[in-house]
Structure 1
């Protein structure tokens, strides 16, 4: 931590001397984002020792972002900074879920009243290549997706490089060392579900190549030291049928295996509650295919996903570490749904979604969707046989298009999850109501 903080401080000192350079200030952006969240989760089969089955909480989050331009010269320098502040508004006495990844818990199991953190990145640009180094990184890549599904966003510490020197080719590489959870003021090392030992080295590299205007090919490699190695292949194609009609194909394949101490004490992997041939070791192949037909404001999506029998799908997840609030992670599969993941060993999941953009009916900013996922042949690590599970998610979103509060957004989401047989999750009904607004100062 000392070395990275010192390096960042030196970089910021250099930038301060050049802050007057054209571009650094002129291209700067400063914005304040507000998010109000109401979260209601009804655990239909709550454990006997839980006094109330529901989790009912609300909170207010603020995020201040400063993004500078770059100084002039062959190599341009800049800085990005972010400050976040979460406030617990109300949970209804006894309705706060301890070990929550939504709001941090106090020592007595109740929700903390507030939490905050500050992060910053130094950055440099040479030609069409950018490097970022700091503690406010938010990657959105096939092998790592920063989670922003609750009150405050998840961020990472480390360094990243993005290069677009070659036409139609984007190269991404980086090394991350720590994570800041969406319900925490602290940073932790990196891990996976079930892993209680921190790793401080997540390395990745990958290519996005636009072979034609309609076809993009991807390859990525990542390695979380002492936990797993992962290869990803992806292909996305959009066939334009007419001006307002298209057919999209999205194919994804992951191949994951153990690394270093994975399987040893402290480096376990719980396979997302699923069976594993080698119980505590990463061993997985997952493929998925999604097809979307769009006509005017209508969009119909259908797809299928297959997780191999040898072990569940793997992704970066700090939820098993000692720091409460570090949990909450996203992953690059179509089944990363509102409640469940559908990523257990052996699981075959068929899914579909229908969405409509009401701009076609003269109501711009209003969108609605409903999705259904059903997983079969899943295996639980503690119970013989297989199980099935399903989830239905619905949401409606509206963003004001004009007026003083232009950009003010409302989102109502409702999910229902049910499992049968040896499913490791409780049946749940979940509702979220979210209000978002961002004000740009410059």
Structure 2
């Protein structure tokens, strides 16, 4: 197993281990461990003329999480451990490109890859500090990707606090990212499909701050700031309301991302405002979702390569719908079959259409469009020897009128997951 944590984090771990030995009752009694086995099949079928017609791979992953409790006393110390293992079941250089597995210089997928992450933690009242491998830095402008075989992680320090009534305060200072098909911690770069930014420009530090305010059960207000040094900075504002009717409910959400280049702007100019609104009406087992998203400014929406953003494209398989000037509308339907007496079974249909896209002339120019149709069926077995085994099948059809040299190409995509999580103690 491979551990890439920096020496400074190891010093923190040793210090906390010393404290643990002095008062270990809560540290041990409140500990827990889970093991997730994930079988993942991924297939892309590219349409039209293409040097590669398919990307198809199959892999088995294992995710072991062992979290201690905290030592006794006003300041508690603890330790979290995550072990990740990915095993190749089927792959070939002519079918690579799924991000399930790492590759060598010849394009051959590794037979297996693994790593061990350690996180020291400290608790004072309702404030928790974590240092080392971070898996819970869920900021809307840099959401850790969990859409492949193994989760993506960061390396740094994270603080969260709920000491103030109705407020949640969070912050992170991160110096490296470990992507979802890698075991190496890397510097930060910017996601740059369709030549949006300079993809080779690097940053050594990303800092995030956030505040959430919930005055009551109906309203949530959020503000976040994320700064990737010498690349870009984003301010995020979000307002969420949940209104309960007699037999149904309506969730309304409005978000605004405002991004500009930062410091020496190594990746190029960043000038973007992204506005989106999403409404979810739920009654019985039915959920009806509609949304609209507008990008303004001279560039696309920036994000850290390897992460995801909480925008309308967050559930889609083929595109991020964050191209310059893009206007996107969303229609989505979810049915929970528990309302019909079949608990554990859910179905989802989703459609996104983006237009008014502006790309470089070589990639198609102005007035471009893209669309994606998405279908999902998932089921968690409720009883018997296979209880809690989760099956998930997803399929999408993506089409655009971009030039053939663009990053996003017409494709049909299928993903099949079988997950099983067992609690070890």
Do structure 1's residue 200 and structure 2's residue 204 form an aligned pair?
yes
Corresponding residue pairs, total: 410
Do structure 1's residue 330 and structure 2's residue 308 form an aligned pair?
yes
Q: CA deviation at 1:228?
A: 0.6
- Uncovered stretches (5+) of structure 1, i.e. residues with no partner: 269-279, 318-327
Match of 2:286 in 1: 298
**1:31–1:148 CA distance, 2 compared to 1 (3 A):** same
Match of 2:360 in 1: 381
In structure 2, C-alpha distance between the alignment counterparts of 1:137 and 1:247, rounded to whole Å: 31
Q: CA deviation at 1:142?
A: 1.6
In structure 2, C-alpha distance between the alignment counterparts of 1:147 and 1:421, rounded to whole Å: 26
Runs of 4+ in structure 1 displaced over 4 angstroms?
Answer: none
**1:202–1:46 CA distance, 2 compared to 1 (3 A):** farther
In structure 2, C-alpha distance between the alignment counterparts of 1:281 and 1:380, rounded to whole Å: 15
**1:430–1:335 CA distance, 2 compared to 1 (3 A):** same
Q: Deviations over 1:63-90 (max 9, x none)?
A: 1100110101010000000010000101
Q: Deviations over 1:370-399 (max 9, x none)?
A: 000000101112343220110000000000
* TM-score for both structures, normalised by structure 1: 0.89
The DSSP-based 3-state class of the residue aligned with 2:313 is coil
In structure 2, C-alpha distance between the alignment counterparts of 1:136 and 1:217, rounded to whole Å: 25
In structure 2, C-alpha distance between the alignment counterparts of 1:142 and 1:96, rounded to whole Å: 29
Do structure 1's residue 79 and structure 2's residue 79 form an aligned pair?
yes
The DSSP-based 3-state class of the residue aligned with 1:401 is coil
The correspondence of residues 21-420 of structure 1 with structure 2, limited to 5 A, is 21-47=24-50, 50=51, 52-91=52-91, 94-97=94-97, 101-193=99-191, 194-242=198-246, 244-262=247-265, 267-268=266-267, 280-317=268-305, 328-336=306-314, 337-382=316-361, 383-420=364-401
Match of 1:325 in 2: none
* TM-score for both structures, normalised by structure 2: 0.93
**1:39–1:156 CA distance, 2 compared to 1 (3 A):** same
Q: Tell me, yes or no, if the aligned pair for 2:16 and 2:77 is still in contact at 8 Å.
A: no
The DSSP-based 3-state class of the residue aligned with 1:229 is strand
CA RMSD of aligned residues (A): 1.6
In structure 1, C-alpha distance between the alignment counterparts of 2:282 and 2:175, rounded to whole Å: 41
Q: CA deviation at 1:344?
A: 0.7
In structure 2, C-alpha distance between the alignment counterparts of 1:405 and 1:133, rounded to whole Å: 37
Match of 2:416 in 1: 433
In structure 1, C-alpha distance between the alignment counterparts of 2:402 and 2:25, rounded to whole Å: 64
In structure 2, C-alpha distance between the alignment counterparts of 1:284 and 1:369, rounded to whole Å: 31
Q: Deviations over 1:258-315 (max 9, x none)?
A: 10121xxxx32xxxxxxxxxxx311100000001110100000001000114110111
Q: Tell me, yes or no, if the aligned pair for 1:41 and 1:55 is still in contact at 8 Å.
A: yes
In structure 2, C-alpha distance between the alignment counterparts of 1:225 and 1:58, rounded to whole Å: 37
Q: CA deviation at 1:201?
A: 1.0
**1:87–1:15 CA distance, 2 compared to 1 (3 A):** farther
**1:286–1:24 CA distance, 2 compared to 1 (3 A):** same
